[in-house]
A and B are shown apart, each in its own frame.
Chain A
Amino acid sequence: MFMNSNLFEPGKSKPERSFVQLAVKQNQRFDGRRSNECRDVELTFGADWGTVAVSMGDTKVLTHVTCDMGAPATSRPNEGKLQLNVNLGGVAFLDEVQTTHDQRSLTLNSLLERTFRSSRSVDLESLCVAAEQHVWCIRVDVNVLNHDGNLYDASTIATLAALMHFRRPDVTFTDDELRIYTEKEREFIPLLFLHYPVSVTYCIYKSSGQPIVDPTLLEENAADSVIVLSFNSYQELCSLNAGGTAPTNVRTIMQCARNAATRCKSLVDFVRKALLLDEERRLQGGRLVNGLVALIGNTQHKLSFNKLMSCQKQEPQPAPTEKMELDNESSEKPEVEEIEVKEEPSKQETGDAPMDSSGWLPQDEDSQELSIPSDASTSKAGKGKQNRSKNKANKKPQQKKQTDHSDSEEEARQYI
């Protein structure tokens, strides 16, 4: 790992590594964050549908979604296609050796594939125009502009935001004639989602048991292992990528998973909120972001996670409190059962983990999650699938316009 990696990026020399280990041990980070604190996420929507720039600190990712008519795969004749492309050209300066470049882009690509495609987050069946003949091919281009650690989260957030922002033209297929309408003729249609996944990254060091979230490039390179967890807004696990050499116990992973689940939920809420604001801006006919430079550099249109979510907290939020009560009632019984099933450490953990604000995390969900680390990275959350198909059934009559509220209602209903 050490020799074939290049020395241009930080965290490759011994002093750096031992210093980071020491810093983590003393619970210090270079930018003054706490170990469970994330950098601010900033979203900028471009003038085109499906163009989003995301920045987390100095990490910058630009994502663009395009669509095209094409023929479906023979194995899935009634499903559209979703293609995820990663372009690391912007950080080519980091890759002295071809192998590191390949490795980096492969990891990122497989994370995106697992998070969005294998977990079937986009309803591909709705992209079918005529079975076996015409389907929509959605192509997501993820351009990495700058890399300062945690490319994973930045690109999943960017991909999710871009897909949610994207609108495809309406199309009709009659008498073997395909007709695609322009935006003037018929309004564009947003994509349908079955669930909304994003990822959260943790770094684990041998010197300390405490994982740190949202690592910078230095922290990431000096880490002994990196764990990337993707959760959707229903707090179901979509993918888990744990590698490296640091010994990690179930407890640490569970702690990460719990925190990641809440973080993912708030990230999705943030993206939704940002989309609403963007829509408002469009309706008002406000000035859109012009051109790439403005998209990356413009501070005026930036939607910051910290700002948006902090003002949301001030608003009275009936939904979560309601749910909490519901959960408390409903979960009382399962909790007793769980004490018998679960090992003790995970029980303690709910008590002592200081950063664990997920006390309201539904308990039955917990037990579901607990089984996940055991069947490791390929886990596709089989039980989640049932839930999801249920969601799908619920959603179908409502069709689009899925607001935050209806979502949480649905979620609550399942747990009762």
Chain B
Amino acid sequence: METAFDWITLHQDMIYIVVLSVFLGIEVIGRVPSVLHTPLMSGANAIHGVVIIGAIIVMGKADSGNYTALILGFLAVILGTLNVVGGFVVTDRMLEMFKKKK
């Protein structure tokens, strides 16, 4: 029990970010028209590609002799980039078509 409290105290700023971000996410999306559901889902999909930052750190930290870490990290960076780049490009393509209609 003691350690759990210590952990919370140690990470309290992160925990604040989590709590506030949860409410922010709800507020930001709250009144979105159904027309935009698909692009929004796709845009959010691209944003969680931030996980790529973790992949870059893993890759950059790996010792040059540790092949498992190098290979897995390499794969992780590729997958993360796919998520980010693919996600943003697909979203842009969808939204581009909405714009043309003016």
Q: Do A and B bind each other?
A: no
What residues of chain A have their CB less than 8 Å away from a CB belonging to chain B? none
